[in-house]
Amino acid sequence: MLPSFFIAHGAPSLAIENHAYTDFLKELAAGLPKPKAIVLFSAHWESSEQQVSGAESYETIYDFSGFQPELYQVQYPAAGTPDLAKEIQSLFQEQNIPAAIDTERGLDHGAWVVLHLMYPEADIPVIALSVNRYLSNEEQYRIGKAISALREQDILIIGSGGTVHNLRRLDWGASGINEWAAEFDGWLQEKLLAWDVESLIKYEQLAPHAREAVPTPEHFIPLLLAMGTGDRSRKAALLHRSYQFGSLSLSCWRFD
């Protein structure tokens, strides 16, 4: 059974950067069996009802501005798989989670930046899933748990977001790590390794510097979604963590 992952997608420019984290993502894919399909929750697809991409193929969405011109030349022409989209919709509905299929939307940078680094050939079918910031953290975990059986079909599940993601606090010239960001991620590491779901769903109240690290929840939600897919075994492992601009966390968690 394939593991599932939470993967930080950083800034859009990650797709054309070369450093320890990009090397890690390339090596991560090389060390896995080739999946039959990839199911990815993106922090940049928000909806009030769970959406499941059912497109036959995808356009590459450049949902950002002001970056290097070459970034806008990156294409990720992945195919979709409508039959799998319907299966995922059914899995959600079996757990009384309303879900709809979207056949029009392309892949936003929360999806294609990660996939471009891991699977640059774009030769694996992709299903993108939305996130809903208005649900409780318990419900986020339950959404992930609802599709955990896909892992038994050699389907790779990824939550793409960021644990510390406060664009207002970025220090573009920083060479070190802001203490508040490290403290938040350290608390998070302790709770994830212990599979302390009760504390994690209350992270806003319990974690140090939670409001600073997570000013809005959409980038944190994919962590809870990915964790939910590992509920059966409840084993978490931190595979990589580094930072850009003082506090932008580039981390990867594996859930078995």
Nearest CA among 196, 41, 238 for reference residue 126: 41
**Phi, psi angle pair for 201, to nearest 5°:** -75, -10
Dump strand ranges (E) for the chain. 4-8, 37-46, 50-53, 99-102, 126-131, 155-161, 236-244, 248-255
Mean pLDDT confidence for 91-98: 97
Name which CATH class applies to 4-255. alpha beta
Share of the chain above pLDDT 70, in %: 100
pLDDT (0 to 100) of residue 173: 83
Q: Cα–Cα–Cα angle for 172, 216, 70, nearest 5°?
A: 45
Q: 4-62, pLDDT tens digit by residue?
A: 999 999 999 999 999 999 999 999 999 999 999 999 999 999 999 999 999 999 999 99
The strand pairing partners of 252, in sequence order, are: 7, 240
pLDDT (0 to 100) of residue 200: 98
Report residue 206 CA to chain centroid gap.
23
Please state, in angstroms and rounded to a whole number, the distance separating the CA atoms of residues 223 and 242: 17
Please state, in angstroms and rounded to a whole number, the distance separating the CA atoms of residues 177 and 251: 14
Nearest CA among 218, 32, 16, 18 for reference residue 5: 32
Nearest CA among 157, 201, 207, 203 for reference residue 182: 207
Q: 134-181, pLDDT tens digit by residue?
A: 999 999 999 999 999 999 999 999 999 999 999 998 988 888 899 999
